[in-house]
Chains A and B, each alone.
Chain A
Amino acid sequence: MVQWKPDPSFYPSPKLATQAPPEKHAFVVMFNPKLKGKPDALAVVDVDPNSKSYAKVVGQVEMPNIGDELHHFGWNACSSNLCPYAPHPHVERRYLVVPGIRSSRLHIIDTKPDPRKPKIVKVIEPDELMAKTGYSRPHTVHCGPDNIYISALGSPSGDGPGGIFMMDCETFDLRGRWELDRGPQNLHYDFWWHLGYDTLITSEWGTPKMIEKGLNPEILLSSGYGHQLHFWDLRKRRHKQAIDLGKENQMVLELRPAHDPTRAYGFLGVVVSIKDLSASIWLWHREGSNGSNGNWKIKKVIEIPAEPADPDDLPELLKGFKAVPPLITDIDLSVDDRFLYISCWGTGEFRQYDVSDPFNPKLTGSVRLGGIVKKTPHPRNPKQPINGGPQMVEVSRDGRRIYFTNSLYASWDDQFYPEGIKGWMVKLETDPVKGGLHIDPKFFLESEAVLRPHQVRLEGGDASSDSYCYPS
Chain B
Amino acid sequence: MSEGSVWPWLTLFLLGAYHGINPGMGWLFAVALGLQDNSRVAVWRSLLPITLGHALAIGAVIALAAAVGLVIPVGSIRYPVAAILIALGAYRLFRHRHPKGGGMRVGMAGLTLWSFLMASAHGAGFMVLPVVIGIPGTPVEVSAATAAPVGGEHAAHNQGHFLALGGHEALPMGLSATLIHTLGYLLVTALAAVLVYEKLGVAILRRAWVNLDLIWAGALIITGVITLFIGEPSH
Contacts and interface: CB of A to CB of B under 8 A. Distances in A.
A285 to B, nearest CB: 17
A263 to B, nearest CB: 11
B109 to A, nearest CB: 13
A282 to B, nearest CB: 25
Main secondary structure of the interface of A (DSSP, over half): loop
A426 to B, nearest CB: 33
A146 B98 CA distance: 7
A265 to B, nearest CB: 15
Interface string A73-95: 00000000011111111110000
A170 interface: yes
B216 to A, nearest CB: 12
A2 B101 CA distance: 23
B100 interface: yes
Nearest to A89: B209
Interface string A4-32: 11101011110010000000000000000
Given A11-B206, A262-B38, A470-B202, A198 B103 contact: yes
A146 B102 contact: yes
Interface string A204-247: 00000000000000000000000000000011010000000000
Interface string B87-114: 0000000001011111111100000001
Interface in A11-59: 11-13, 16
Interface in B8-28: 23-24, 28
B209 A5 contact: yes
A340 to B, nearest CB: 24
Nearest to B214: A2
B35 interface: yes
B211 A196 contact: no
Interface in A261-297: 261-262, 290-292
Contacts of B203: 12-13, 16
A2 B92 CA distance: 11
Given A12-B205, A16-B206, A89-B209, A146 B100 contact: yes
Contacts of B102: 85-86, 145-146, 235
A90 B96 contact: yes
Contact of B105 (A89, A235, A470): A235
A85 B29 contact: yes
Q: Which of B23, B96, B202, B213 has the most CB of A within 10 A?
A: B202
Nearest to A470: B202
A358 B72 CA distance: 66
Contacts of A234: 103
Interface in B191-230: 202-203, 205-207, 209-211, 213-214
A146 B23 CA distance: 16
A400 to B, nearest CB: 21
Contact of A198 (B23, B100, B104): B104
Contact of B104 (A3, A82, A87, A195): A195
Q: Which of A2, A11, A84, A292 has the most CB of B within 10 A?
A: A84
A310 to B, nearest CB: 54
Interface residues of A, number: 40
Contact of A13 (B37, B101, B202, B210): B202
Contact of B213 (A10, A90, A195): A90
Contacts of B214: 2, 4, 90
A471 interface: yes
Interface of B: 23-24, 28-29, 31-32, 35-38, 96, 98-106, 114, 202-203, 205-207, 209-211, 213-214
A3 B210 CA distance: 8
A165 B224 CA distance: 39
Contact of B35 (A86, A87, A470): A470
A281 B22 CA distance: 43
Nearest to B32: A84
A237 B101 CA distance: 9
A262 B28 contact: no
A89 B211 CA distance: 8
A12 B206 contact: yes
Contact of B29 (A5, A84, A89, A261): A84
15 contacts: A4-B210, A5-B210, A11-B206, A85-B114, A145-B102, A146-B99, A146-B101, A197-B104, A198-B103, A235-B102, A235-B106, A262-B38, A291-B105, A470-B32, A471-B36
B32 A6 contact: no
A107 to B, nearest CB: 23
A261 to B, nearest CB: 6
A462 to B, nearest CB: 18
B24 to A, nearest CB: 4
Contacts of A147: 100
Contacts of A89: 205, 209
A8 B206 contact: yes
A90 B101 contact: no
A469 interface: yes
A83 B36 CA distance: 12
Contacts of B36: 196, 261-262, 290, 471
Contacts of B101: 146, 235, 237
Nearest to B208: A5
Contacts of A292: 103, 105
Given A86-B98, A87-B28, A471 B103 contact: no
A91 B24 CA distance: 14
A10 B209 CA distance: 12
Contacts of B211: 2-5, 90
Contacts of A197: 104-105
A198 B102 CA distance: 9
A4 B105 CA distance: 30
Contacts of B104: 83-85, 195-198, 261, 469
A82 B101 CA distance: 15
A262 B37 CA distance: 8
A170 B95 CA distance: 9
Given A86-B99, A87-B28, A89-B205, 10 more contacts: A2-B96, A3-B211, A6-B209, A12-B205, A85-B104, A86-B102, A90-B211, A235-B101, A469-B32, A470-B202
B206 A235 contact: no
Contacts of B209: 5-6, 82, 89
Contact of A290 (B24, B37, B202, B207): B37
A89 to B, nearest CB: 6
Contacts of B202: 12-13, 16, 470
